[in-house]
Structure 1
Amino acid sequence: MTSTTKTPIVLIHGLWMTPTSWDTWAERFRAAGHDVIVPGWPGIDDRTVDDIRSNPAALKGVGLKQIADHYERIIRALPQKPIIMGHSFGGVITQMLADRGLGVAYVGVEPGQTAGVTALPASTLWTGTPILSNPFGRNGAKPLSKRHFHFTFGNDLPRSESDKLWKEYAVNSYNRVFFEGVTSVLNEKNGVTHVDYDRADRAPLLIMTGEIDHVVPPAIGKALVKKYRSTGSPAVVDYKEWPGRTHRIVSQDGWEEVADYALAWALEHAQQPAAA
């Protein structure tokens, strides 16, 4: 990691993806002078998409707490607290890390809901059907079909263009992560994704959604913000919805505007850096 006085940034990818899904934002933030750390989930690390597809065994049985603990170890080894941004299930992990007080500002980019946020639009349920339809596969690592990738990530594109992106980015699922995320929705106190919504000392949090996202529609982002704000906590929780954006918001045409907004917001609202 190169030396810099600017706040470091940790980027957390989501389900079905690898750290390469963040290449756009990571390079832009590095060009702005930030150290950017983009670790893979346990079992993904720095492996290639083809390698993971051919041998997904390391993804099996890995759950959300294990992933959050993995990122906590990485963050605590940094010389100062970072800005933490997470996409989709990476946004769930970002909220879990916020509950542990590990960052100076947080951005949930189309983040999944944490425990007790019960908004589950039909399109969101459909994205999980290939996994949730087989409870016996709870600890498996199911491949993501091209058809399902088109619905979840490429719904603004012709199928042929979506298929090209599938080949470049998509990997198997961590089935346990999806089951834990869904079951936590109905178990606010004891769900794996439990957070203290009324925490007063939580660093500022920004929730961003895409208008035509099938996985995390705006209804989920708005429900999350409502949940945090309903407690009366003085901690900052802001919301931004992006017209015409899908679940591929971090690389979809026009991603630069979204990335610049997220970074500007985080820098404006960041708490004073402190040792991690």
Structure 2
Amino acid sequence: MSQPVVLIHGMWCTGANWARVCELLQSRGYACFAPTLPAHEPVADQPLHVGRCGMRDYLAFLIEAIRMQSFERRPVLIGHALGAVLAQQLAARIDALALVLLTPLAAHGLGGLRAANLAVFAPWLRSGALWRRPHKPSFQAAAHGLFNRMTPDRQRSLYETLVHESGRATFETLLPWADFTRAAAIRSDDVRCPVYVVSCGDDRLTPAAAARRVGARYAGVARRHYADRGHWVIDDEETEEMVHGICSWLRPFEQREALARHVR
């Protein structure tokens, strides 16, 4: 029986962006589930649909998608950037084995927009009616903020995989003072599972300082910092080493879980 892992993508992405991580985890015996968030499928009218979505829609979708999987073991939750916000919200609501946060976006009291790269969001910020407008960074902004450690050809190919993101979800996450419904709030006290946080010294979208503030919410958090990596940790030259480190950290919790099942 394989250990299930739920992979939650970040802004402008789909479940397909987890392909490299899934390959590496599956080769180590894990069963990967990488859903695409609502209205993120890359179809022609995708921007029209995603603009209606908020963080509550994303979270409700993930809770139901995980329920439908009928996992026989408690899942490991792995989130990247905005997906790390959702992973934390999930971990406060479902029984997870462990929580892994890759270059997490800081939300609700942890810096919000001040902790993110303003250049990536500048056109959206200038557009007005922010919560109604889907957005996607320009190639130049994405190359600088998301893919700064990639070659130009790689930057272009990765950019072609991006979709529009919901202005409403972005508004709720990055401007917490305006999130009256607390749709992006994280009940960190309700997260009972072990937590592992990855930060990167050359991350221009979710800086290492923001990741440190996220990790500080959790007692006994395990941290891994990569001084020379950028934001796109899910498919760069060090992804395999990162996945190996995550798996090594997970093994004792998996073994403890297996022993508990055997005793029962």
Q: TM-score range by the shorter chain?
A: 0.7 to 0.9
Aligned to 1:251: 235
Any residues of structure 2 matched to 1:46-65 within 5 Å, and which? 47=41, 49=42, 51-52=43-44, 55-65=46-56
- The superposition leaves residues 157-215 of structure 1 with CA deviations (integer Å, 9 ceiling, x where unpaired) of 34444223212x2111221111100122x48996222223334x611111111110111
SS of structure 2 residue aligned to 1:8: strand
- Computed over aligned residues only, the root mean square deviation of the Cα atoms, in angstroms, reads 2.5
SS of structure 1 residue aligned to 2:196: strand
SS of structure 2 residue aligned to 1:107: strand
Contact 1:12 1:87 (8 Å CA) reproduced: yes
Contact 2:119 2:141 (8 Å CA) reproduced: no
Letter of the 1:181 counterpart? T
Letter of the 1:212 counterpart? D
Q: What's the offset of the Cα at 1:121?
A: 4.9
Gaps of 5+ in 1: 230-234
Aligned to 1:232: none
Any residues of structure 2 matched to 1:73-222 within 5 Å, and which? 73-77=64-68, 78-79=70-71, 80-118=73-111, 121=114, 124-167=117-160, 169-184=161-176, 186=177, 191-199=182-190, 202-222=192-212
Q: 1:119 to 1:67 in 2, by over 3 A?
A: closer
Contact 1:153 1:248 (8 Å CA) reproduced: yes
Contact 2:5 2:32 (8 Å CA) reproduced: yes
Q: What's the offset of the Cα at 1:55?
A: 3.8
| Distance (Å, rounded) in 2 between the aligned partners of 1:202 and 1:36 | 22
Which is worse superposed, 87-96 or 201-210?
A: 201-210
Q: What's the offset of the Cα at 1:245?
A: 1.1
Letter of the 1:87 counterpart? H
SS of structure 2 residue aligned to 1:250: helix
Aligned to 2:249: 265
Contact 1:183 1:191 (8 Å CA) reproduced: no
Letter of the 2:89 counterpart? M
Contact 2:18 2:234 (8 Å CA) reproduced: yes
Aligned to 2:221: 237
Letter of the 1:8 counterpart? P
Contact 2:100 2:195 (8 Å CA) reproduced: yes
Letter of the 1:267 counterpart? R
SS of structure 2 residue aligned to 1:108: strand
- The superposition leaves residues 135-169 of structure 1 with CA deviations (integer Å, 9 ceiling, x where unpaired) of 314222223321111012221234444223212x2
Letter of the 2:252 counterpart? E
Q: What's the offset of the Cα at 1:63?
A: 0.7
Q: 1:100 to 1:187 in 2, by over 3 A?
A: farther
Q: What's the offset of the Cα at 1:109?
A: 0.6
Letter of the 2:35 counterpart? P
Percent of residue pairs identical: 22
Q: What's the offset of the Cα at 1:81?
A: 2.0
| Distance (Å, rounded) in 1 between the aligned partners of 2:76 and 2:126 | 36
